[in-house]
Amino acid sequence: MRSLWDDSEAKARGKDALSLRVYTSRLIGREPSLVLQGGGNTSVKTRGADLFGETTDLLYVKGSGWDLAGIEPAGFAPLRLEAVRRMAELPSVTDSRMVAMLKSLSIDPDAPAPSVEAILHAVIPSAFVDHTHADAVVTITNTPDGMHRIGEIYGDRIFIVPYVMPGFELAREVYEMTRDVDWAELEGIILMNHGVFTFGDDARSSYERMIQIVSEAEDYLDTHAPLETSSIDAEEARAADVLRLARARRAVSLAAGGTVFARFDPTASSFASRPDAPELVSRGPLTPDHVIRTKRVAWVMDDDVEESVGRFTAAYREYFERNTDGALTCLDPAPRWALWPGRGVVVFGRSQGELNAVNDIVAHTLPAIERAEQLGGWQALPEDAIFDVEYWELEQAKLSRAPRAAELAGRVALVTGAASGIGHACVEAFLARGASVVALDRNDAVTSMFDEARVAAFACDVTDATAVEFAIESAIRRYGGLDAVVSNAGVFTESARIAEISGEVWRKSMSVNLDAHRIVLQKTIPFLESGIDPAVVMVGSKNVPAPGKGAAAYSVAKAGLTQLARVAALELAASGIRVNVLHPNDVFDTAIWTPEVLAARAKEYGMDVESYRRRNLLRVEVTSADVAALAVALTGRLFAKTTGAQIPVDGGNDRVV
Ligand code: ZN
């Protein structure tokens, strides 16, 4: 690992201690093998003015909830140093009490809550203190003679602390153990199964000691436990069975009591092909603070997905019962990641952010396991130590503060014709309610018009079955499943009397307005069967119940589409899939209705444009957003008991009612 220190970058931040503290904290945050997902913390001791302008010794320590990679001065809590240091002498304090006490020592009422490791930072006398959960160091400590190996690598430069749960206990333990040490002789502290502390008189020396210590651990691993490169064909692993993935997502969603996403990661295929992989992923996490994200062990997925997730949740409940003191509430027992033997890993999460977090942690854990195996065996902490962190009062409090999930959070909806008009409005409506979307459109602008984090967009002609299949399978690999389909893509074909209609116009309407819906339905049914409360909405037309002259090609195709939906409702009811049809009319805020076209049509009817827009019983204008709101509602709970229905959204039409 190389030092990222750059004189001119450092200077640009500022010369004062806090600015430099921000600078090297960010350098640490940039390196995922030092800190992952908000892990690690840093501090600086300096003098500053309190509320009354009196100068006092302060400890600026990272606030909880801040990520080192993007930290700002405001991300540090300024605490009265001497008082924080004295807290280490208190006989016993619960961690939630400790957090409240630390907060009361802040001189800035607007500062964030200080890190739970604040007292430990105060105990170390140096001005700058850096703390990480470096992969390489933690890997070595997770082996049978890890402590011996750490001693062998670092000698007397490092003070070793056996595992103690983070929080007040750990701070107190380090305080007691280091009462008589000569800090000037030390470069750092290694906490077994947890991480590293380094310190120094200036920002650079503390940071570079971290890099030095971690580099030595990396070199040790490269010599004693080199990582073998994968010989597995990643292409083969990538072609993993997407239907199995969808079934796994459904099983985990049911176990979690809410819809989750699932993402297949083929980069773990070589690890997943080890015969001992199922046993290795059942030993425990890399560091205990990962347990909140990953749970203690992985689910080992086998052919019978439903049955094997049932075994996982039963084992989780037994683990809870074995370790609870009786006053705790069991968390949802669903797995957060799975080993898919021979294929790779699958991660689960309620948001893309959660998926990324779990994926990141797993990607760092698997190489650590493989290397520790070469050092005599991967050895995680015993389950009661992991349990204590998983059910730590501070973590439980965090969970109860979690914001309520949006109405459709975790649901995945596919929308065709997504680049404009009703389809575009449907994408927006799904996003506004928290769903993730698979957006298909023939127009390749679709790939750049939505937030990539929540929309998988594909330029795809829905009349091309192969293209539709490719898009759907790609989306399943990303989200893990599909719960709703709005089959919307359509074309207005040119107006012509039956006597004059061309074969070309007729076939085009049939192809886009009818055949394509059959293709989308056929390709999505297998995934909807493994969806959560699955539903299909077909976008029909007022022309179905009330056809107009000159629109045979359009009306016949839309009538066929309606009949397709009715038969689908009959066939798919047994799988719990609902199929309903919307019949919109006169939706003018779409690309086809330019002001010129609108003016011409209004004139034809002898009306002004405004009256023409509202030529329905209610005299209201029907917008794409109105149609989208109804389409989204049809896929949701409100219509949970409705299938085979045709619902007009037209302001009332006297030929329909
Ligand atoms: Zn830590």
pLDDT (tens digit per residue) in 104-134: 999 999 999 999 999 999 999 999 999 999 9
> Could you state, in order of their start, the residue ranges of all structural domains in the chain?
7-224, 234-394, 412-591+623-648
Report the separation in Å between the CA atom of 196 and the middle of ligand 1, taken as the mean of its atom positions.
8
What pLDDT sits at residue 390? 93
- Using one digit for the tens of pLDDT, what is the confidence trace for 358-378? 999 999 999 999 999 999 999
What pLDDT sits at residue 548? 87
Residue 236 has pLDDT above 60, yes or no: no
Which residues lie closer than 8 Å to 595 by C-beta, 6 or more apart?
A: none
Report the separation in Å between the CA atom of 163 and the middle of ligand 1, taken as the mean of its atom positions.
11
Going by pLDDT thresholds of 50, 70 and 90, the confidence category of residue 230 is: low
Tell me phi and psi for residue 333, to 5 degrees.
-85, 10
Residue 235 has pLDDT above 70, yes or no: no
Encoding tokens for residue 113? Answer: 């809550």
Report the separation in Å between the CA atom of 15 and the middle of ligand 1, taken as the mean of its atom positions.
28
CATH topology of domain 7-224: L-fuculose-1-phosphate Aldolase (3.40.225)
Indicate the length of the chain as a whole number: 657
**Average pLDDT, integer, range 94-108:** 93
Residue 163 has pLDDT above 90, yes or no: yes
Asked if 407 contacts 431 with a C-beta cutoff of 8 angstroms, the reply is no
What pLDDT sits at residue 228? 74
Please state which of the ranges 8-17, 129-138, 506-515, 622-631 shows the lowest mean pLDDT.
Answer: 8-17
- Using one digit for the tens of pLDDT, what is the confidence trace for 318-363? 999 999 988 888 999 999 999 999 989 999 998 888 899 999 999 9
Query: The domain 234-394 belongs to what CATH superfamily?
Result: Class II aldolase/adducin N-terminal domain (3.40.225.10)
Report the separation in Å between the CA atom of 173 and the middle of ligand 1, taken as the mean of its atom positions.
14
Going by pLDDT thresholds of 50, 70 and 90, the confidence category of residue 399 is: low
What pLDDT sits at residue 241? 87
Going by pLDDT thresholds of 50, 70 and 90, the confidence category of residue 401 is: low
Report the separation in Å between the CA atom of 116 and the middle of ligand 1, taken as the mean of its atom positions.
9
Report the separation in Å between the CA atom of 276 and the middle of ligand 1, taken as the mean of its atom positions.
30
Q: What average pLDDT does the chain have?
A: 93
- Using one digit for the tens of pLDDT, what is the confidence trace for 555-614? 999 999 999 999 999 999 999 999 999 999 999 988 778 888 888 888 888 999 989 999
Report the separation in Å between the CA atom of 160 and the middle of ligand 1, taken as the mean of its atom positions.
14
**Average pLDDT, integer, range 237-262:** 88
Report the separation in Å between the CA atom of 257 and the middle of ligand 1, taken as the mean of its atom positions.
31
Please state which of the ranges 31-45, 501-515, 641-655 shows the lowest mean pLDDT.
Answer: 31-45
- Examine domains 7-224 and 234-394 and report if their fold is the same: yes
Q: H or E segment at 189?
A: strand 188-191
Report the separation in Å between the CA atom of 195 and the middle of ligand 1, taken as the mean of its atom positions.
6
What pLDDT sits at residue 352? 84
**Average pLDDT, integer, range 398-402:** 65
- Using one digit for the tens of pLDDT, what is the confidence trace for 620-646? 999 999 999 999 999 999 999 999 999
Asked if 440 contacts 512 with a C-beta cutoff of 8 angstroms, the reply is no
What pLDDT sits at residue 290? 92
Quote the distance between the C-alpha of residue 405 and its chain's center: 13
Active site residues: 554
Report the separation in Å between the CA atom of 351 and the middle of ligand 1, taken as the mean of its atom positions.
25
512-543 as b/e, with b when 16 or more CB fall inside 10 Å? bbbbbbebbbebbbebbbbbbebbbbbbbbbb
Percent of the chain with pLDDT over 90: 81
What pLDDT sits at residue 289? 86
Residue 320 or 36, more confident: 320
Residue 159 or 238, more confident: 159
Encoding tokens for residue 260? Answer: 């989750």
d(CA 352, CA 168): 33
**CATH number for region 412-591+623-648:** 3.40.50.720
What pLDDT sits at residue 52? 87
